[in-house]
Amino acid sequence: MSAQPVTPTPPDHVSIEIDGVSMTAPKGSMIIHAADKAGIPIPRFCYHDKLAIAANCRMCLVDVEKMGKPAPACATPVMEGMQVRTRSDKALKAQRNVMEFLLINHPLDCPICDQGGECELQDLSLGYGRSVSRFSERKRVVADEDLGPLVATDMTRCIQCTRCVRFTAEIAGTYELGGMLRGENLQIGTYDGKPLSTELSGNVIDVCPVGALTNKVFRFRARPWELIARESLGYHDAMGSNLFLHARRGDILRTVPRDNEAVNECWLSDRDRYSHQGLYAEDRATQPLIKDGGEWRPATWDEAFARAAQILRDNGADELGILVHPSTSNEEGALLARLAEALGTGNIDHRISQLDLSDGAVAEPFARSLADIGKADAIVIVGSQLRFELPLLHARVRKAVQSGAKVHVVSPIDFDFTFDIASKQIVPPSQMADALARVDLGEASNAVILIGAVAEAGPHASAIRAAATRFAAGKGAALCRIPQGANAIGLTRAGVLPASRDARQMLREGRSAYVLYGVEPGLDFAEQGQAMQALASAQVVAFSHFACASTRAVADVILPIGLLPEIDATLTNLEGHEQRAVAGGKLPGQAQPGWRVLRALGGMLDAAGFTFTDLPGLRDSLQPREVSVARHALPAPAGKGLEVAVSQAIYRTDGVVRRAAALQAHPLTLGARAVMHPDTARQAGITDGAVAKIRNDNGTATLPVAITDKVAEGCVWVESGYGATAALSSARVEVESA
């Protein structure tokens, strides 16, 4: 009889046995890693595969042969020939004793706990807890702490697993939570009593295994078993984080992360987690509206379509401009491109927030995957407040720094990062292109350049892009330009680009009619003053999510359309990957999916490409479109005064986020203000906290002034997304005390 073949142990692996199952495991890995890979369950509370091992809770105690005492599976390395039993009497007794100790001070308030139904402690106590407590002592009580508008606390329930502490230290990098006091008095909290300021704070809710940290916005609104989960996407930045929408009877009540190692891993930014509040704003567009004699009145869909079609028929060809929000879905973008073609206009663009498009720049996929950026050895961040633009990419850069990467910064503002910076050049926007050439990467062999919104949307963008291209070619670095919009790459591929006038030129020169798609005209354009002036003097068809004051001021007809959480759609993320979302909530009132509204309007206009009957039929007809993008040379930014550096306020990026009450109450929402260098302010005769008048060709803004040396000399830094700063987008401004 022939011998059975023996599978050799892979290099750097050891042979072990768990519950009678023979396996191999990498040297240096822990017992819990091998058990998880083999599908053998081991209870745990403090262990999390994205966080450092703490071995706090001892719930994962197992019986290891030749070891006298039970060993924690999360902190015991595998060894050759090791035999582990997870269900022996010795292991089970140890696990049950640990559970008994954990429940000594726990309030056991499951019926009223908002974590009930998805609590790890509740689940494990069913299998490992005793039916009767042997302790008669009084339970301790821990005072709750106000962690801000997003995270609710009930710290008496805390079992000191320290997952939240390790998250804020290792992933967020803000070190805002810690353990205080000792022994039975140990409690988790902030050291200064201030709210959490990290842009990733909601993740402490996910990692908490009990009901100590819960979602303040969702709290007491529903039980988990009442909710229906729908797969969707983040649409407030270009990462396209994967998430679940939890809805009850069509109302979206909660957003939680959906695991995708290639994109957002298991995390979610607060902007994506809490923005669903904005879906239910008071000014949500819920029915078609028509302006008659300067007054708005409700209309039927037939009336609204008739008015919109008449405007488009009367103002076709070059007299029509189509302006599209860069988070619009691929399906809607393709239909808008077909509509523009049918109406004979080349004036269509989604790059509505960018000032300098003289080089014909369009959004492009990153030259490195998100995972690879986390492995880079040198990263150059050019004109980007990365924590606010792409919070989870910022976390990946932090991971790269922890592995030895060097980060270099070129920016007009010394933005806050949660990692060390190897070198920084804080210069006015006009000098960023030259400053980039002075960055020294040393011996880096895997370098990445990240170009952000301060550079991409500013008046010197084309020069910075050209300098970055030269730098990348000379250093062998990967060029990654952050797309300016959640679906900028998808809309580029769909052909939502100008063959004649770009967005800025359409508004500067004026057209007799415009189509606004998903745009809040008072806040979404690069040059707000010119935009509102051009729109006010034209006829406007607004496909809108909100019937806001600025839309009502310029539109002639408002067609209510659904937002991404309410429709089936696809978006293309910054890696160029198309991702699909399904409708999670019901549409408000008479609102319809945008593709359906466009199909009806296109059919009324007898436009080609609108004969499909459903969404699958539309998707079958989608093809990438090549557009020869028009380029318009712009004069070099001139004028006197101070240069303006504009960044995006993290919770003012689009209409939905701006209407999320919890995000507007967050410490990172600072309000409209102007920030200046001390020397610059001194020369202008302005003191810290004073109010200044800031004037340019578009108008005058009156803003409080903050003074810090984090701003380049000769600059004024403002955040976009506020009505008070909407006029401040040009290259230079004059500043005087109010």
What are the tens digits of pLDDT across the range 234-276?
999 999 999 999 999 999 999 999 999 999 999 999 999 999 9
CB atoms within 10 A of CB 442: 10
pTM: 0.94
CATH code, 68: 3.10.20.740
* DSSP state, residue 278: G
- Residue 5's pLDDT is 60
CATH code, 390: 3.40.228.10
List Cβ neighbours of 84 (8 Å cut-off, separation of 6 or more).
Answer: 16, 17, 18, 19, 31, 35, 62, 63, 64, 65, 73
Per-residue pLDDT for 555 more than 80? yes
Report how far residue 488's alpha carbon sits from residue 325's, in angstroms, rounded to the nearest whole number.
Answer: 9
Q: How confident is the model at residue 4 (pLDDT cuts 50, 70, 90)?
A: low
Per-residue pLDDT for 601 more than 50? yes
Report how far residue 426's alpha carbon sits from residue 409's, in angstroms, rounded to the nearest whole number.
Answer: 8
Mean pLDDT of 408-415: 97
State the average pLDDT for the chain.
93
pLDDT in tens, 429-453: 999 999 999 999 988 999 999 999 9
The structural domain count of the chain equals: 5
Residues 513 and 444 in one domain: no
Residues 140 and 272 in one domain: yes
Of 415, 449, 481, the residue that ends a domain is 481
In 354-460, which residue ranges form alpha helices assigned H by DSSP? 370-373, 386-389, 391-402, 432-436, 453-456
- Mapping DSSP to helix (H, G, I), strand (E, B) and coil, where does residue 183 land? helix
Question: What secondary structure, in 3-state letters, does 6-67 show?
Answer: CCCCCCCEEEEEECCEEEEEECCCEHHHHHHHHCCCCCCCCCCCCCCCCCCCCCCEEEECCC
Residues 124 and 89 in one domain: no
DSSP bridge pairs for 255: 245
Residues in the chain, overall count = 738
Per-residue pLDDT for 637 more than 70? no
Residue 323 within a domain: yes
Residue with tokens 């007299």: 319
- Residue 417's pLDDT is 97
% of the chain at pLDDT higher than 70: 98
Residue 636 within a domain: no
Report how far residue 479's alpha carbon sits from residue 500's, in angstroms, rounded to the nearest whole number.
Answer: 28
CATH code, 210: 3.30.70.20
Distance of CA 203 to the CA centre of its chain: 13
Residue 627 within a domain: no
Residues 380 and 449 in one domain: yes
Residues 238 and 144 in one domain: yes
Mean pLDDT of 21-43: 94
CATH code, 669: 2.40.40.20
Per-residue pLDDT for 7 more than 70? no
Q: What does the block give as tokens for 170?
A: 């290792």
Q: How confident is the model at residue 169 (pLDDT cuts 50, 70, 90)?
A: very high
Q: What does the block give as tokens for 136?
A: 């008669």
Residue 523 within a domain: yes
Residue 676 within a domain: yes
Per-residue pLDDT for 678 more than 80? yes
Report how far residue 52's alpha carbon sits from residue 56's, in angstroms, rounded to the nearest whole number.
Answer: 11
Mean pLDDT of 721-728: 88
- Residue 302's pLDDT is 96
Residue 321 within a domain: yes
CATH code, 511: 3.40.50.740
In 60-131, which residue ranges form alpha helices assigned H by DSSP? 89-102, 120-128
When mean pLDDT is compared across 406-410, 417-421, 481-485, 725-729, the lowest value belongs to 725-729
Of 481, 496, 520, the residue that ends a domain is 481
**Side-chain half-sphere CA neighbours of 573 within 13 A:** 22
Residues 609 and 663 in one domain: no
Per-residue pLDDT for 1 more than 50? no
Residues 513 and 578 in one domain: yes
Element (H, E) at 560: strand 557-560
Of 462, 481, 500, the residue that ends a domain is 481
Residue 1 within a domain: no
Q: How confident is the model at residue 73 (pLDDT cuts 50, 70, 90)?
A: very high
Report how far residue 142's alpha carbon sits from residue 213's, in angstroms, rounded to the nearest whole number.
Answer: 13
Residues 59 and 159 in one domain: no
| Full domain range(s) for residue 36 | 13-102
pLDDT in tens, 126-156: 999 888 888 888 888 998 989 999 999 999 9
Residue 2 within a domain: no
Answer with the residue of higher pLDDT: 5 or 285: 285
Residues 89 and 144 in one domain: no
Residues 385 and 409 in one domain: yes
Residues 246 and 184 in one domain: yes
Residues 492 and 474 in one domain: no
Per-residue pLDDT for 320 more than 70? yes
